[in-house]
Structure 1
Amino acid sequence: MGDRASACYASLRRTSGAGSSSMSLFAELKRRNVLRVAGLYVAGAWLVLQVAGTVLPMIDAPIWLSRAVVVVLAIGFLPALVFAWAFEITSEGLKREHEVDREVSITPQTGRRLDRVIMAVLALALVYFAVDKFLLAPERTAAQTEAARSEGRSTALTESYGDRSIAVLPFVDRSPGQDQAYLADGLAEELLNQLAKIPELRVISRTSAFSFRDDDLAVPEIARRLNVAHVLEGSVRPAAGAVRVTAQLVDARSDTQLWSATYDRPLEHIFAVQDEIAAAVVEKLKLEAFDAPSRARPVDPRAHALVLQARHVYLQGSAEGMQRAIELYQQALAIEPGDAAAWAGLATVYSRQAAKGLRPVDEGYGLAREAANKALAIDPGRAPAHVTLGWIADSYDVDPAGAARHFGRALALAPTDVEIVRDAAPMVATLGRFDQAIALGEYATSRDPVNPLGHHYLAYAYYVAGRYEQAIASWNTVLRLAPDFGSAHQLIGLALVASGDPAAALTEIRQEPVDEWRRAGLPVAWHALGKPAESDAALAELIREQGNDWAYNIAAAFAYRGEADRAFEWLEKAVVRRDSGLPEVALDPLFRNLREDPRWLPFLRRIGKAPEQLAAIRLEVQMPAK
């Protein structure tokens, strides 16, 4: 180290000593390429820091790693300059500067190479800046906005409910054959629904709570993700007409057991077990006592088991599961014809089949209407039956007043039922009651945070309300929860079109995994970009491939392009075909170009969607506490 320092000092004296013929220090720094190395180091370090600032948060790297990168780069700056001063690259390799004869020095050639490297690094920095600004920054901003909004909602929920929040996890099937999961799930779900009726208790919905069934996570981690203070878990072991149920209530913050119990009862007394567990939870959480729902009509345990099985297979979401659910509901009704729960469940499955194209629309909605009406004849307070009739009125009958009447009744009967609140949100939005729709959607997502459907409905409410940034953020949440969720990319694209960013819209719509939705969005995006030939080609493909079933979306594309005659032509087809998109037409931003057309209001009046008709619809929604 001493020899190296002496050599550097001697070299410096040779170049900066007294005398008119000696070179200035600046000139020597330049000759040895020290200044170029400094510029290259600064440019390279800036680029590394920018990339690290983008990549490290994406992989959830600890904060100390980012700081370490900054410290290492800062420490390395001075050694790099000393190295450039003391050493020189020659044709024979790296040598100390004082060992190189000035006559054979190749520092000018090295300097030119460094200039090219500096230019390359600056070019990379410029490319990174463009990519970050136009591609990464919007997604990062949306994610930060949604995270801030989620944090705000979590804080508000904590302030409103304190420690009075709970998730009911799926009970474990302890049967010898491990074939009684439907009974375990049914017990947990009915407990959840019973606790959800307590206004001062925030209960996480089935979809979110049950989503952790196969995850090997500790209770505190599940509670953190669901933002609850308590967790109720248990197990079910049926055998020979009897059942053993164990349950325990856990304080998630300390991971300590607050209460536990085991119940050995005949299977027909399962309802009493539910009531006892719910009462114990109320007592331990120091909540106001509540009355368990009355069951004036005893239910045959065989029919009840079949109803639980039917719901279990229906929730699998497959065509086979739906058909099997119908068979099980029918078996339950053969045993217990007056079981309102079986009739309501049957109505739900028939309606879902019709909506998904698994049964002819007229047949499916007809059967659903008949089953829902039978459920209400037996039990007028059966809220899910009203929801089914509301969906039929909204999507099939194009009867917004009827839809509002049924959904309003369902909300009055079950104001804290997350599924009912969630399903009501888009219908309320189509009536133009944006604040109510958004409040319903936010309530649903606060209690069902990992269910993409709830975030999808909330995003739709934001979209028709013109709050495009929030709509995009909510649809991005949908994609984080379910990357293959059909229509989410396309709808983000339409929101970007509406907010004036057609280039980003086209990029988003091209990512849509479902062909039908992607085709429906491309004509709009191309037209927004000022590419009429591409828009024409995309619209021609949409009509060719989906003309029989997507009349509403084709009408929307023509309307956005300003082709009013073709838009009204396809709207008429949508009416004849009972297109499920029609409830949205009055408020859909894509139809904005038609609003001054003299045919617009008469068309809306025909389907009950004119402004004065929507304003006259009575919908008294008692908003649940957030």
Structure 2
Amino acid sequence: MSLFAELKRRKVFKVAAGYLVVAWLVIQVGATVAPQLGLPDWAPRLITLIVLLGLPVAVVIAWLTELTPEGLRLERAPKGNKRVFFVAALLVAAGVGWFVHALSGDVGLTGSKARLGAASTAVLPFLNLSSRPEDEYFSDGLSETLLHQLAQVPKLKVAARTSSFSFRGKQDDVRRIGELLGVATVVEGSVQRSGEMVRITAQLVRTDDGSELWSRSYDRRLADLFAIQDEIASEVAKALVGEVLPDEHAKAVQGGTRDVAAYDAYAHGLQQIAIDSFASLDAAERAMLQALARDPNYLDAMVGLVRVEMLMTQTGKIPKRTARLRARPWLARIEQIDPGNAQLLGVRAELAEEAGEFDVSRRLLAQAIERAPNDTWLRTTQARRHLYDMEFESALASAEAVLSLDPLNGSLYFLKTSALLWLGRIDEAEASARRGWQLQPQNPNAASAMAGVAAFRNDLAAYVHWNLVAHRIDPDDHEIIAEMVPALQDLGEPAAADAWLRVSQRLAPGNLFAESSRVVVENARGNAQAAYDGAFALIPRAAEERRWNWTIAMGAGCLAAVELGRSAQMRQALVHAGVLAPRYDVASFRALVPNGTPINAQVRRLSMLAPCLAEPQDWNARRAELLATVTALKGPAWMRKPSNARFVAFLQPDREALVREELGARYTEQVGREARQRWLGIADDPRIVARNAELRRMHRAQHAGLPAMLARDRLALMPAGDATARSR
């Protein structure tokens, strides 16, 4: 008789099949009950091991025994015994090997191909299983707090909130999530809140095969929420990097509160910060203040409130001075509680920069990033700093570094796009901007990035279109619409330009963007006196500058001053304000740009204010003096950088270089184009004449296509309710 027939006769197959069914049920019950009983993490695995070891035992017993009318009788088979025992031994060895391997806590993570390495994770938004859908903010707050705690562990790479939360409500496979975020694991779970009780489940899952590394369920009182968060973070960190040092653990859990109502308000605030609109920032500020009213020592809420004030400044909602005054008492409290707090150091760096202490600012920001290398706000601040300083290679590197932690954050592509644009890599910049728009079509920054690409391509119609899209997303932002006003004027739509200026002024009376655009528009219309007067009035507001709006307005004002023969008065006022220097030798230039101010940013400003630097008879001598100073301070390598070519051309008495740079000027550099060309003495060059004619034809064609472009997206050229719009 064959071995197969003998196995069948002895009912080994039936016994094995029946055993597996029962074993599966036992394993499922064990996995469910063990966490409820508070058993250790390895308990479900031990149950599985015992059940698996029972299979070869059952097979051997079925092989060796036979059920007869007289009862169970031992009956050794004439052949096949060795093979059956060998297979049983293999099953035992495989089960024990699996248990030892699983118990190691690594389960193959060392071989992970995740972009951020084996010790990397993403905290996905926990599912809200409460009866009220509006409680989602609470589950989000728990997820974000957990993410923040894990990000404090230096050896652990944690994907940023924006990217991990982009998977909310989606049924993406963990393998795809791991690939998109570059992480080896994900933390996922659910929250069910009912009265004073909360049920939380959490699990750590490998992204390469979807296997579970750790899981736990909690049924506790709501007051125990903070202990649960601490336990989850500790267990996840332990599974990924081993034991967490006591000081690392202390830093991770520092900053929380035991007041559930305070935490509730804080979670509301985090939800509003993520929206990042003018209205949501107001709501976030109120929520953080409510949390601090409940718990005045709630460190995370203090940091959250300061973040809100900084975001309000960055979006132009409030002036920097207002943000400083609001933040000052909370910064003092944070310093009392945690002097080395990374967010505190980052804000101190921002304030030092505004005070002109640039070296101090860089040092503080570097310390902050060293303390919290996973903090995307700090790394984004660093990228933005490099961009404003016109250190475009560094800005691109910083943007890509923060994108490695937050690859699905559409607004970060705005920074990357800007750096690529100024480096002249426009096709790459457009791809970056489109990726940002694809990821976050409801983010005004993503639309602004698309507008930036259009400006560098000299496509004014597309520039206006994307600014109107951004305005529709965030109708309270006064800067977006003020920035597009000069483009409307150049397209031949002066009524629309005036109408949108009125809207900007209504949203934020006296805002610098609207006042600056008014100067540029008046200069473009040939109203030299109005441009001069407007620019002169803005001189004391240099410290309010954002995105070069003040400098661009001053450039238009200086051109108007030359035309009016009043450049000496404008120059004297700018020197008195500390914007220009009486001379430009090394000592005078260093006095103008103290404490490590990036020289390339200052040279850009001076190149735009060039008509105010000297009278015509003194211009060549002043330019030579400035060229020698910049060369001495920055060296020949800086002078050869393509991104600095335009500034170098204005410093050198090289007509060919001036013409070449003017021919390739982007729209962002064309303010007062023809007036500037007359001042430079190149307006009569045939190539310049031909280029200007080409731009005028291009703008007319763009203007003709603008109505259809706006109609496709249901956008209006004139603001709703404008009296001029009704008359048209």
Tell whether the 8 Å contact from 2:288 to 2:301 is kept in structure 1 after alignment: yes
- C-alpha spacing 1:601/1:233, structure 2 compared with 1 (3 Å): farther
Residues 380-428 of structure 1 show CA distances to partners (whole Å, capped at 9, x for unaligned) of 2333345456556768x78867765664454343222012212332123
Matched residues, percent identical? Answer: 26
Counterpart for residue 330 of structure 1: 289
Matches within 5 A, 1:432-471: 432-471=390-429
Q: Which amino acid aligns with 1:582?
A: R
Describe the SS at the equivalent of 1:293: helix
Counterpart for residue 701 of structure 2: none
Counterpart for residue 254 of structure 1: 209
Counterpart for residue 474 of structure 1: 432
Tell whether the 8 Å contact from 1:169 to 1:213 is kept in structure 2 after alignment: yes
Q: Which amino acid aligns with 2:249?
A: A
Counterpart for residue 617 of structure 1: 596
Residues 232-284 of structure 1 show CA distances to partners (whole Å, capped at 9, x for unaligned) of 10123455655443211112232222221224455555444334333433443
Counterpart for residue 306 of structure 2: 347
Q: Does 1:420 align with 2:378?
A: yes
Deviation (angstroms), 1:520: 3.1
Describe the SS at the equivalent of 2:431: helix
Q: 2:123 aligns with which of 152, 168, 188?
A: 168
- C-alpha spacing 1:324/1:256, structure 2 compared with 1 (3 Å): same
- C-alpha spacing 1:279/1:564, structure 2 compared with 1 (3 Å): farther
CA distance in 1, matches of 2:528, 2:223: 63
Residues 134-192 of structure 1 show CA distances to partners (whole Å, capped at 9, x for unaligned) of xxxxxxxxxxxxxxxxxxxxxxx958644443221011233455564344222221222
Describe the SS at the equivalent of 1:292: helix
Deviation (angstroms), 1:538: 6.6
Residues 57-103 of structure 1 show CA distances to partners (whole Å, capped at 9, x for unaligned) of xxxxxxxxxxxxxxxxxxxxxxxxxxxxxxxxxxxxxxxxxxxxxxx
CA distance in 1, matches of 2:194, 2:526: 68
CA distance in 1, matches of 2:411, 2:489: 28
Tell whether the 8 Å contact from 2:130 to 2:192 is kept in structure 1 after alignment: yes
CA-based RMSD of the aligned residues comes to: 4.7
Q: 1:293 aligns with which of 241, 250, 256?
A: 250
Tell whether the 8 Å contact from 1:404 to 1:618 is kept in structure 2 after alignment: no
- C-alpha spacing 1:228/1:299, structure 2 compared with 1 (3 Å): closer
Q: Which amino acid aligns with 1:338?
A: N
Tell whether the 8 Å contact from 1:340 to 1:382 is kept in structure 2 after alignment: no
CA distance in 1, matches of 2:211, 2:266: 35
- C-alpha spacing 1:545/1:415, structure 2 compared with 1 (3 Å): same
Q: 1:582 aligns with which of 532, 546, 561?
A: 546
Tell whether the 8 Å contact from 1:399 to 1:608 is kept in structure 2 after alignment: no
Count of paired positions: 454
CA distance in 1, matches of 2:315, 2:377: 19
Q: 2:178 aligns with which of 218, 223, 231?
A: 223
Deviation (angstroms), 1:352: 4.3
Deviation (angstroms), 1:377: 3.3
Tell whether the 8 Å contact from 1:299 to 1:339 is kept in structure 2 after alignment: yes
- Which ranges in structure 1 are unaligned for 5 or more consecutive residues? 1-156, 620-626
Q: Does 1:367 align with 2:326?
A: yes
Q: Does 1:190 align with 2:145?
A: yes
Tell whether the 8 Å contact from 1:398 to 1:582 is kept in structure 2 after alignment: no
- C-alpha spacing 1:541/1:322, structure 2 compared with 1 (3 Å): closer
Counterpart for residue 263 of structure 2: 304
Describe the SS at the equivalent of 2:289: helix
Tell whether the 8 Å contact from 2:273 to 2:308 is kept in structure 1 after alignment: yes
Q: Does 1:520 align with 2:520?
A: no
CA distance in 1, matches of 2:291, 2:503: 42
CA distance in 1, matches of 2:442, 2:213: 40
Residues 91-121 of structure 1 show CA distances to partners (whole Å, capped at 9, x for unaligned) of xxxxxxxxxxxxxxxxxxxxxxxxxxxxxxx
CA distance in 1, matches of 2:148, 2:263: 16
Deviation (angstroms), 1:209: 0.9
Describe the SS at the equivalent of 2:204: strand
CA distance in 1, matches of 2:404, 2:594: 29
Tell whether the 8 Å contact from 1:183 to 1:305 is kept in structure 2 after alignment: yes
Tell which deviates more after alignment, 158-167 or 331-340: 158-167
Describe the SS at the equivalent of 1:260: strand
Matches within 5 A, 1:143-182: 161-177=116-132, 180-182=135-137
Tell whether the 8 Å contact from 1:586 to 1:604 is kept in structure 2 after alignment: no
Describe the SS at the equivalent of 2:212: strand
CA distance in 2, matches of 1:570, 1:404: 35
- C-alpha spacing 1:183/1:582, structure 2 compared with 1 (3 Å): closer
Deviation (angstroms), 1:206: 0.8
Q: Which amino acid aligns with 2:294?
A: I
Tell which deviates more after alignment, 173-182 or 601-610: 601-610
Q: Which amino acid aligns with 2:385?
A: M
Counterpart for residue 204 of structure 1: 159
Describe the SS at the equivalent of 2:418: helix
CA distance in 1, matches of 2:205, 2:189: 11
CA distance in 2, matches of 1:242, 1:601: 70
Tell whether the 8 Å contact from 2:191 to 2:198 is kept in structure 1 after alignment: yes
CA distance in 2, matches of 1:474, 1:592: 31
- C-alpha spacing 1:313/1:426, structure 2 compared with 1 (3 Å): closer
CA distance in 2, matches of 1:401, 1:555: 34
- C-alpha spacing 1:285/1:348, structure 2 compared with 1 (3 Å): closer
Deviation (angstroms), 1:356: 5.6
Describe the SS at the equivalent of 1:254: coil
Deviation (angstroms), 1:341: 2.2
Counterpart for residue 515 of structure 2: 551
CA distance in 1, matches of 2:249, 2:424: 43
- C-alpha spacing 1:609/1:161, structure 2 compared with 1 (3 Å): farther
CA distance in 2, matches of 1:418, 1:336: 27
Tell whether the 8 Å contact from 1:560 to 1:591 is kept in structure 2 after alignment: no
Deviation (angstroms), 1:524: 4.5
Deviation (angstroms), 1:199: 4.5
Tell whether the 8 Å contact from 1:464 to 1:589 is kept in structure 2 after alignment: no
Tell whether the 8 Å contact from 2:481 to 2:501 is kept in structure 1 after alignment: no
Q: 1:214 aligns with which of 169, 180, 198?
A: 169
- C-alpha spacing 1:486/1:577, structure 2 compared with 1 (3 Å): farther
CA distance in 2, matches of 1:609, 1:593: 14
Describe the SS at the equivalent of 1:452: coil
CA distance in 1, matches of 2:547, 2:225: 42
CA distance in 1, matches of 2:117, 2:233: 20
Matches within 5 A, 1:485-504: 485-486=443-444, 492=450, 494-498=452-456, 501-502=457-458, 504=459
Q: Which amino acid aligns with 1:229?
A: A
- C-alpha spacing 1:489/1:273, structure 2 compared with 1 (3 Å): closer
Q: 1:411 aligns with which of 365, 369, 389?
A: 369
Query: What is the TM-score when the length of structure 1 is the normalising length?
Result: 0.59
Deviation (angstroms), 1:522: 6.0
Q: 2:337 aligns with which of 364, 371, 378?
A: 378
- C-alpha spacing 1:214/1:393, structure 2 compared with 1 (3 Å): farther
